[in-house]
Amino acid sequence: MESLLDQSSLFLQQLVNGITLGGVYALIAVGYTMVYGVIQLINFAHGEVYMLGAFLAYTLVAVVGMPFFPAFVLTLIICAVLGVVLDFVAYRPLRKAPRLAALITAIGMSIFLQNMALLIWGSQIKSYPREVLPAFFSEAAITMGDVTLSWLQIFILSITLLFMIILHLTIHKTRIGMAMRAISQDKTASALMGIGVNRVISFTFAIGSAMGGMAGILVGLYYNAIFPTMGYVAGIKAFAAAVLGGIGSVPGAMLGGGVLGIAEVMGAGYISSEYRDGISYAVMIAVILFKPSGLIGKQLGEKV
Partner 1 sequence: MPLFHRNPRILFLAILFLAIILPWVPLGVSSNYLLRVLTTAVLYMILALGLNIVPGFTGLLDLGYVGFYGIGAYTSGLLAIHYDLSLWVILPLAAANGALWGVLLGAPTLRLTGDYFAIVTFGFSELVVLLIRNELWLTRGPMGLPGISAPSIFGYTLSQGWQYFYLALFLLLVVLVVVVRLENSRLGRAWFAIREDEIAAQCCGINLIRYKVMAFAASAAIGAMGGAFYAKWFRFIHPDMFKFWESILILCLIVFGGMGSISGTMLGALILIPLTEVLRTALPQSMFNARYLIYGLLLVIMMRLRPEGLIPFQLSRSRKAEQAKARLLGGEE
Partner 2 sequence: MKRLGFFLCFWVFMQFLGLTCPSWADSIKIPVAAPFTGPLASFGEGMKNGAMLKAEEINAQGGINGQQVEILFEDELCDPKEAATVATKLAADPAVSIVVGHLCSSASLAALPIYKEAKLPAISPASTNINLAKSSPYYFRNVYKDDFQGLFLAKYAKDIKGYKKVAIFYEMNDYSMGLMNAFLKQAKKNGIRILGKEAYTAETTDFKPQLTKFKMMKPNAIFIPGYAPQGTLIISQAKSLGMKNVDFLGADGLDDNLMLKNPDTEGLFVTTPFIPDKAGPNAAAFIKAYREKFGIDPNWFAANTYDAVGIAAAAIAKAGQDREKVREYLVSIDTKEKAYDGVAGKTYFDKNGDCLKEAFVKEIKNGKWVGAEKQLQ
Instruction: Indicate the residue among 234 and 284 with the shorter CB distance to partner 1.
Output: 284
State the minimum distance, in angstroms, from the CB of residue 89 to partner 1. Answer: 8
Instruction: Indicate the residue among 99 and 172 with the shorter CB distance to partner 1.
Output: 99
Instruction: Indicate the residue among 62 and 103 with the shorter CB distance to partner 2.
Output: 62
State the minimum distance, in angstroms, from the CB of residue 99 to partner 1. Answer: 5
- Which of partner 2, partner 1, none does 193 bind, CB closer than 5 to 8 A by kind? none
Size of the site for partner 1 (CB under 8 A): 45
Among 107, 142, 162, 169, binds partner 1 (CB under 8 A): 107
Instruction: Indicate the residue among 167 and 201 with the shorter CB distance to partner 1.
Output: 201
Q: Contact letters (x/-) for partner 1, 13-52, by CB under 8 A?
A: ---------------------------xxx----------
State the minimum distance, in angstroms, from the CB of residue 108 to partner 2. Answer: 19
As a three-state string, the secondary structure of the chain is: CCCHHHHHHHHHHHHHHHHHHHHHHHHHHHHHHHHHHHHCCCCCCHHHHHHHHHHHHHHHHHHHCCCHHHHHHHHHHHHHHHHHHHHHHHHHHHCCCCHHHHHHHHHHHHHHHHHHHHHHHCCCCECCCHHHCCHHHHCEEEEECCEEEEHHHHHHHHHHHHHHHHHHHHHHHCHHHHHHHHHHHCHHHHHHCCCCHHHHHHHHHHHHHHHHHHHHHHHHHHHCCECCCHHHHHHHHHHHHHHHHCCCCHHHHHHHHHHHHHHHHHHHHHHCCCCHHHHHHHHHHHHHHHCCCCCCCCCCCCCC
Site residues (vs partner 1, CB under 8 A): 40-42, 90, 93-94, 97, 99-105, 107-116, 118-119, 123, 232, 236, 239-240, 243, 272, 274-275, 277-278, 281-282, 284-285, 288-289, 292, 304
